[in-house]
Amino acid sequence: MTSSSAGVPLIYPIHEKSTEGSSPPPLAVGGKGHALMELASIGAPVPSGFVCSPALSAFFQDGAPNPPEQVKATVDEGLNLLREWSGKTFGDAQNPLLLSVRSSAPAPMPEAQPTVVNIGLTPDGVDGLIRQTNDARLAWDAYRRFIHSYGMYVLGVEPGGFDQLLAKALSQANAEADHELHAEALEALAKGFREHCESQAGCALPSEPREQLYNAVAAGFKAWNHPRAVDHRRATLQEHLPGTAMVVQEMVFGTGAAHSGAGSLFTRHPASGKKKLYGKFLERAYVEDLTAGVRFTEDLSALGKLAPKAYKELKGWAEKIERHFHDAQEIQFTIDEGRLMILQSRPAGRTAAASIRIALDLVDEGICNERDALCQIDPVAIDLLLHPTLDRSGAEEILSKGVPASPGSAVGQVVFFAEQVEEMAAQGVKIILVRQETTPEDIGGLSAAEGILTAHGGLTSHAAVVARGMGKCCIVGAQQIDINYHINEMTIGEKTVKRMDWISLDGNTGEIFAGQLPQVQPSLEGDVARVMEWADRHRSMGVRANADTEADARKALEMGAEGVGLCRTEHMFFDIERIPIFRKMILSVDEIGRSAALAELLPMQRKDFMEIFRVMQSRPVTIRLLDPPLHEFLPRSIRSQTRMSKAMNISVEMVQHRSEALSETNPMLGHRGCRLAFTYPEIYHMQVRAIVEAACIVAKEGVAVQPEIMVPLVSTARELALLRESIRDLADRVMEELAESLSIQIGTMLETPRAAVCSRSIAAHADFYSFGTNDLTQMGFGFSRDDSGSFLPMYMEKGVLEEDPFVALDQEGIGAMMRIAIEEGRKSNPDLKVGICGEHGGEAASVKFFHKLGLDYVSCSPFRLPIARLAAAQAAIEMEEE
């Protein structure tokens, strides 16, 4: 019955009578086309029409007639179907058949997709429509809407001019909104629109209805192939999408004189998730008016009063449609003189919190299966549900507001120095650490505090990153706060908070309260556990956690980690007992002095690793060799330097001198990572020995340990080749000493742009890659994480960047480097295992992207594992469906 190209149909009918069996998938007809065909198939009242297949795109080639003949023929075929069903002939001015044309893309696109209404109207047709409906207002309104939508989407006329003409018409009529305009005013407006449109476009509106229709359909196909759209799809790995479909449907008017209007409804409450119809309605309107913001919408009860029968019918259909699509729906409808027509149904928008409630309820009500439910849950919801919240009465005193950097809440007494926190916390005092900003030296205090508040810094400042890693509430960039360290107090405007005063932090909102607010512990453990169980059944990508200590490792297991993806050995050196020894190593003038200090550290590091191996059992544990520059381990303030000089019995001058000698202009690009291995080889030697000894000892206890040694900051193949050889030699020697034989993988953290483009030669020396997307982002953009706070917010405000690339991975640029690294790397080493251990490993959109890239696993802080598990499952399901 319908035409086809190489076996693919070029046209699909939307009509109760013609929809036999299941409709084609969204990929073939787009989301909208699919939904409409499905609605027709269950007998819902949808306007008749047809879908033009994306296969028609192929006919849009350079030099082909525009629109192509095949497109015209297909559209003609559709019109024949419509005539058959409705008895109306398109282009008949006496009994006009009016149509709408809408794009139906297989996935959301960033730019507005064409929608043209009332196609087929001409000045003659307006007369016919008036005779037919006996409603001049409706007819002129329809005509001006045709010109407006055709002008914008087909002729490329800017919308501003139309808006100005409408505003002028409203002001002349002393009206507030367009439904108050009378037929005469609308007629004048339509003529004004027409003049404006034709002068802007430099051509006349087609007087031939068919020509209008052909052009409108063609406009949709052309928009899909616009270079910006092509770029977007390439950047988001959506190049495989087949193209947009175009939906052509008979018009239904909601602008009739009586019992007419348009509305939309949600089958579940979008904020709470509760099962309850919730929607808005406009009398005498098109559905497009609902979002245009031209007038205030009413709630659904208005429809109940205006057309009770249609309302009852709508409620029935809402329930049926939700059940049919296995998900909460947002339904658009029109009431045409009391008659209900459903224009569209799609998955309903919802808040993070609602998404989890709806998913669980739908499964429990038997409306959807766990696979579909999983895809409906916003991963952010999981995060919020795993942290305690403040129990607010509304009467609490708000002191200030900062940037919410790590969710949850914290209640405690204020302390301004990190070194004071540990001791007090050990005595059971709950502390909020308040600082201008934090540094790596503060790690002990950060770890012991209940929550962290800083006056400076952004989402990617040291405090923010560390706190998220620890799953600890943190607010940063609270700029109103003025801290006076000398007298141990801070002022916020007129208010003063002294040391040991109580404050409360809301990490979800960034609010800072005076006093001790009550906290509500997370109560949805059961629900979250249930969702995680589903997720683990469906995901294919592995999940690991970043864990530096035994406690971290336990937490990681609890949160579902299948291994440790990043164990940062440097954090072990900041321990209060060890830092003096490590500093002694740094201050040594020669290799002998350094080796002596390292020998003291060896048993401590070995113990750390043994503890972690014992917790992780036979799961892989990736240990990164020392990464930060040595100066990070030396104190910066004169006070700390003096204390250090006394403790180590050397002169302050010596401490300062060494500290200055090691200081760097750009430490991020300095003497760190594997570069240390070439200048101070003894450091890595000690670490490798500690790892291998620990692994051998724990292996003797019967544990099938899986140690993986990771070399950081590699930029050339030769670096890795040389270090791999020396690590391998030492590991073999240690295993021989301890009479143990283990398989130890050696890989690298892929974090410099050069390493990404030279991946083919580097991968030949690596068992695995773990992408360090934080540093790759820093070097790729040239954005220092510590300094970008001075311009990144402005970048987001001015739309230069849509998202902070340190929060959500930049898929276009940094993602492209990752893709090159993986493709090239697997050319020389097809067995290369690839993971990621940056902050992005716990961000849902990034995790989905990583799945598409073909990563073997993601690793993130234990507290973000539930997000990663859910996102990985969603990505797997989505890709399977594609």
Active centre residues (catalytic): 462, 837
Cα separations (Å) of 853 from 378, 541, 875?
Answer: 21, 11, 11
> By C-beta, is 577 or 797 nearer to its own copies?
797
Query: Of residues 131, 346, 671, 852, which one binds its own copies by CB under 8 A?
Result: 671
Query: Of residues 718, 737, 823, 854, which one binds its own copies by CB under 8 A?
Result: 718
Sheet of 329-336: strand order equals 298-299, 275-283, 261-268, 329-336, 339-347
Interaction between residue 440 and its own copies (CB under 8 A): no
For residue 810, the SS3 value is coil
> By C-beta, is 186 or 814 nearer to its own copies?
814
CB atoms within 10 A of CB 802: 11
Write out the binding residues for its own copies, residues 368-427 only, by CB under 8 A: none
Q: How far is the CB of 257 from its own copies (least distance, A)?
A: 48
Q: How far is the CB of 630 from its own copies (least distance, A)?
A: 10
In DSSP terms, 283 is beta-bridged to 261
Are 12 and 53 in contact, with CB atoms under 8 Å apart? yes
Query: Of residues 70, 104, 569, 752, which one binds its own copies by CB under 8 A?
Result: 752
For residue 87, the SS3 value is coil
Interaction between residue 485 and its own copies (CB under 8 A): no
> By C-beta, is 330 or 839 nearer to its own copies?
839
Interaction between residue 830 and its own copies (CB under 8 A): no
Are 548 and 859 in contact, with CB atoms under 8 Å apart? no
Interaction between residue 775 and its own copies (CB under 8 A): yes
Interaction between residue 590 and its own copies (CB under 8 A): no
Cα separations (Å) of 307 from 13, 282, 300, 341?
Answer: 30, 12, 11, 13
Interaction between residue 812 and its own copies (CB under 8 A): yes
Query: Of residues 519, 820, 852, 878, which one binds its own copies by CB under 8 A?
Result: 820
Instruction: List, in sequence order, the alpha helices (H) in 441-549.
Output: 443-448, 462-470, 525-538
Tokens coding 384? 């919020």
Interaction between residue 61 and its own copies (CB under 8 A): no
Query: Of residues 794, 803, 879, 881, which one binds its own copies by CB under 8 A?
Result: 794
- Looking up tokens 């045709």 gives 146
> By C-beta, is 394 or 799 nearer to its own copies?
799
CA 112 to CA 70: how far, in whole Å? 26
CA 165 to CA 644: how far, in whole Å? 75
> By C-beta, is 468 or 631 nearer to its own copies?
631
Question: DSSP per residue over 400-425, as a string?
Answer: EE-EEEE-SEEEEEEES-HHHHHHHH
Interaction between residue 751 and its own copies (CB under 8 A): yes
Q: How far is the CB of 316 from its own copies (least distance, A)?
A: 48
Interaction between residue 831 and its own copies (CB under 8 A): no
Query: Of residues 319, 786, 856, 878, which one binds its own copies by CB under 8 A?
Result: 786
Query: Of residues 779, 853, 871, 873, which one binds its own copies by CB under 8 A?
Result: 779
CA 135 to CA 486: how far, in whole Å? 80
Stretch that binds its own copies, among 418-426, 546-554, 777-785, 855-863 (CB under 8 A): 777-785
> By C-beta, is 6 or 661 nearer to its own copies?
661
Are 775 and 428 in contact, with CB atoms under 8 Å apart? no
Residue 749's identity, in one-letter code, is M
> By C-beta, is 393 or 666 nearer to its own copies?
666
Interaction between residue 807 and its own copies (CB under 8 A): no
For residue 48, the SS3 value is coil
Are 744 and 809 in contact, with CB atoms under 8 Å apart? no
Write out the binding residues for its own copies, residues 194-233 only, by CB under 8 A: 227, 231
Q: Which are the contacts of 790, defined by CB distance < 8 A and separation ≥ 6?
A: none
Q: Of the candidates 519, 47, 460, which has an alpha carbon nearest to the alpha carbon of residue 253? A: 47
Stretch that binds its own copies, among 2-10, 137-145, 597-605, 673-681 (CB under 8 A): 673-681
Stretch that binds its own copies, among 247-255, 273-281, 290-298, 711-719 (CB under 8 A): 711-719
Stretch that binds its own copies, among 187-195, 277-285, 315-323, 709-717 (CB under 8 A): 709-717
Interaction between residue 500 and its own copies (CB under 8 A): no
Interaction between residue 682 and its own copies (CB under 8 A): no
CA 599 to CA 593: how far, in whole Å? 10
Q: How far is the CB of 610 from its own copies (least distance, A)?
A: 32
Interaction between residue 492 and its own copies (CB under 8 A): no
Query: Of residues 352, 722, 738, 808, which one binds its own copies by CB under 8 A?
Result: 722
Tokens coding 480? 């109103």
For residue 789, the SS3 value is helix
Interaction between residue 781 and its own copies (CB under 8 A): yes
Q: Count interface residues toward its own copies (CB under 8 A).
A: 56
Q: Of the candidates 812, 668, 831, which has an alpha carbon nearest to the alpha carbon of residue 747? A: 831
Interaction between residue 754 and its own copies (CB under 8 A): yes
Site string for its own copies, 641-670 (x = CB under 8 A): -----------------------xxxxxxx
Q: Of the candidates 177, 337, 349, which has an alpha carbon nearest to the alpha carbon of residue 273? A: 349
Are 490 and 402 in contact, with CB atoms under 8 Å apart? no
Interaction between residue 578 and its own copies (CB under 8 A): no
Are 604 and 578 in contact, with CB atoms under 8 Å apart? yes
Interaction between residue 806 and its own copies (CB under 8 A): no
What does residue 177 show for φ and ψ, rounded to 5 degrees?
Answer: -140, 165
Interaction between residue 486 and its own copies (CB under 8 A): no
> By C-beta, is 702 or 830 nearer to its own copies?
830
Are 807 and 843 in contact, with CB atoms under 8 Å apart? yes
- Beta-strand relationship, 275-283 and 261-268: antiparallel
CA 312 to CA 304: how far, in whole Å? 8
Interaction between residue 300 and its own copies (CB under 8 A): no
Query: Of residues 783, 849, 850, 857, which one binds its own copies by CB under 8 A?
Result: 783
CB atoms within 10 A of CB 520: 11
Using CB under 8 A as the criterion, which residues of the chain lie in contact with its own copies when the complex forms? 227, 231, 664-671, 673, 675, 678-679, 713, 715-716, 718-719, 722, 751-754, 757-758, 760-761, 764, 775, 778-784, 786-788, 790-791, 794-795, 798-801, 810, 812-814, 816-817, 820, 828
